Structure 1
Amino acid sequence: MPTQAGPMPTQTALRIPAPQTLARARALAEPALRAAVATLHPLPARMAAFSFGWCEADGTPSPSPGGKGVRQAFALLGAEAVGAPLGTAVQAAVAVELVHTFSLVHDDIMDGDERRRHRPATWKAYGTGPAVLTGDALFALAVRTVAEAGGEHAGRAVAHLADCLGELVRGQADDLLFENRPWTGRGAVGIPEYEAMAARKTGALLGCALSLGPVLAGAAPLQTGALAEAGRRLGTAFQIVDDLLGIWGDPQTTGKPVHGDLLRRKKTLPVLAAVALDDGATARELARLLGPDTPPDAAAADRAAGLVEAAGGREFALEEAHRHAAAAHDCLHGSGLAEGAVGELVALSAHLLQRQL
């Protein structure tokens, strides 16, 4: 039977700071996550531990906590929003974190990114082949985790995870194809096309994070659908924020070089918006600076960043991120979800959207 939670005190939930929410999720999910990774073959298990930030490349324990654990926090809150049992919530968080890390390991290989969270990317530390194997192992482990946790809802939950992964792959494929398309003229990437890609590449997994626990618990389709759409919208907003950080982010915070996305000539929303908002000299110069005939040096990237901001691309991207976040919040209200969990979700998403400030 679908589960349903009674409302929690909204006043208390809204006062919970986002770092506290993330810390609570880590404390609940990480022991189960470590136990799951320990079941892998020793080679991918060690590389997975490195990918999670638990150890250094040589296997010695790491003093840093690793990633923020955003998706596992959303998974726990999504499950709590429908009153799912704690064990179900934790298993959903484990599965989502496994998928997220698998996607990062493979994404760094495809993009050629050598750094992740102020450390070498997994492929850089161990080699491309071993890193691919580690990503595959994490993906298989995520599917097994859902299958074993689902009970009577296992089949539906695995299918739900597969659908989300299929969307993620489609989004990643579009992102790769965008790299070879022009900035202007015939074949240029449009803003709607870009946002559809972001909704798949980043939004699908966050939608899965919010809805997987409810699916495992047999929650009503109205609730799982609302949570999935909210996550999809929030994922799109977070991808746009990542685009902003990829141009203007502080390397000490992002762990990546300044203007990194411009140096890679990556199709991101601020640049696409700048080109669309100014179809004259600015658009032509951006197309030249970020085109294949201009060496990707720091001076060209700095000039491009200034042009994007002057043309309104940065402001447009910020407004779009907040628009998608507001739409996500609308999805969370009116679906019979527990108010306390919704309050924490809104507070956490607002905190994450401020990363670019």
Structure 2
Amino acid sequence: MVDPATRAAVGTLPGSMRHIAGYHYGWWDETGTPTETSGGKALRPTLTLLAAEAVGGVASAAVPAAVAIELVHNFSLLHDDVIDGDVTRRHRPTAWSVFGRSAAILAGDSLLTLAFDVLAASGHPDSREGMRILSAAVQSLVEGQSLDVAFEDRQDIELAECEVMARGKTGALISAACAIGALFGGARSAQVEHMRAFGAELGLAFQLVDDLLGIWGDPAVTGKPVYSDLHNRKKSLPVVAALRSKTTAAQELHELYHADRPLSGVDVERAAALIDAAGGQAWCQAQADDRLARAIHRLRSADPVAGAAAELAGLACLVTHRDH
């Protein structure tokens, strides 16, 4: 339901932006030749459609909202790859590494603008409120990304700060996906709030697991090199949890992570072992499980339709127990 509408929306972009966006989505290669590359998990638009059904609406009514959410998500990915200097996404070169940093940034800006145009043109009676929710989510996302970047130059990060960053960087858009989906499904205000909270808790759980994958994830699953977050010295949740553990492993990790030299392959392998020894991996998984339980509680509080609620709960469990 979402892919044809997304392709139609991207098709309205200026040629140069359309070309980069289509490459990023995996629809064609850098020359414009169609490919069969995966465009990602489509988690957020799926949540949007299921949220509409969970409150008694029909999924088709929320397709514009799902497209808008997915456009914003891909805006953030294009910018995130530039910021982090990542050269691989979804098992292929990132857009900036093919077309240049400036072009990728501009393509991201184009997708962000298009997202609001899609909502405005939907004709849904609650489209204005949907745009307000999405706008707030984008501001939170940008703030979360800003904190993530700022953490790179700091050595005294608290876990609470790291959680705030994750709630903005990842949780805000997943929360908005569920809230706008419910809104477009005709939900009562209380249901919209419960679905928003469901998404917020799920978003934090998702980021906790994503941070685990950023260290121990299988490149065949993640599409990124092994230990990618450690090579970038990211202060992700398991890293910060380990650094705050006051263990011998934490001290060695601190010295290694803040060494005034590039980290070698041996260094990042040692760092991963130290994070595990300091309890960072176990803490992160336990927190993800707790946030998942909170998310399911908020979902049930929304008085949802049984079938869609079961699918939402199943999807939430799936994305928080991805293979490492």
TM range, smaller chain: over 0.9
Would you say the 8 A contact 1:82–1:337 is kept in 2? yes
Match of 1:120 in 2: 93
1:103 equivalent among 69, 73, 76: 76
Q: Which runs of 5+ in 2 are unaligned?
A: none
Quick check: 1:223 aligned with 2:223? no
Note the C-alpha offset of 1:294.
4.0
1:3 alignment counterpart: none
Q: Distance in 2 between matches of 1:346 and 1:266?
A: 30
Query: Does the C-alpha gap of structure 1 residues 280 and 29 become closer, same or farther in structure 2, counting only changes over 3 Å?
Result: closer
Instruction: Give 1:88 shift.
Output: 2.1
Q: What percent of counterpart residues are identical?
A: 43
Match of 1:33, as an amino acid?
A: T
1:134-213 to structure 2, matched below 5 A, reads 134-182=107-155, 188-213=156-181
SS in 2 for 1:168: helix
Aligned residues: 324
Q: How far is 1:329 from its partner?
A: 0.5
In angstroms, what is the RMSD of aligned CA positions? 1.3
Amino acid at match of 2:214: G
Alignment of 1:314 onto 2:281: yes
For the residues of structure 2 that align with 1:285 and 1:255, how far apart are their CA atoms?
A: 29
Match of 1:24 in 2: none
User: Scaled by the length of structure 2, what TM-score is found?
Assistant: 0.96
Aligned to 1:12: none
CA offsets 1:207-226 (integer angstroms, 9 cap, x no match): 11111122234421111111
Mapped to 1, the partners of 2:116 and 2:131 lie a distance apart of 7
Check conservation: 2:50, 2:59, Cα contact below 8 A: no
- Give the aligned partner of residue 232 of structure 1: 200
Structure 1 residue 96: Cα displacement:
0.7
TM-score by length of 1: 0.88
Write out per-residue CA displacement over residues 230-287 of structure 1, whole angstroms, 9 at most, x where no aligned residue.
111111111111111111111122121111111111001112111222x143222111
Alpha-carbon spacing, 1:86–1:356, altered in 2? closer, same or farther (3 Å):
closer
1:283 is matched with which residue: 250, 253, 267?
250
What corresponds to 1:329 in structure 2? 296
The alpha-carbon deviation at position 51 of structure 1 amounts to 1.1
Partner of 2:47: 74
Instruction: Give the deviation of 1:164 after TM superposition.
Output: 0.9
Cα displacement (A) at 1:334: 2.3
8 Å contact kept, 1:149–1:216: no
8 Å Cα contact 1:206-1:231 kept in structure 2: yes
Q: Answer yes or no: is 1:48 the counterpart of 2:15.
A: no
Say whether the 8 Å CA contact 1:89–1:213 is kept in structure 2. yes
The residue aligned with 1:255 is 223
CA distance in 1, matches of 2:41, 2:280: 28
Alpha-carbon distance, 1:323 to partner = 0.7
Q: Is the 8 A contact 1:273 1:312 kept in 2?
A: yes
Is 2:213 the counterpart of 1:245?
A: yes
Q: Distance in 1 between matches of 2:106 and 2:6?
A: 18
Q: Does 1:267 find its partner at 2:267?
A: no
User: What stretches of structure 1 of length at least 5 have no aligned partner?
Assistant: 1-27, 183-187
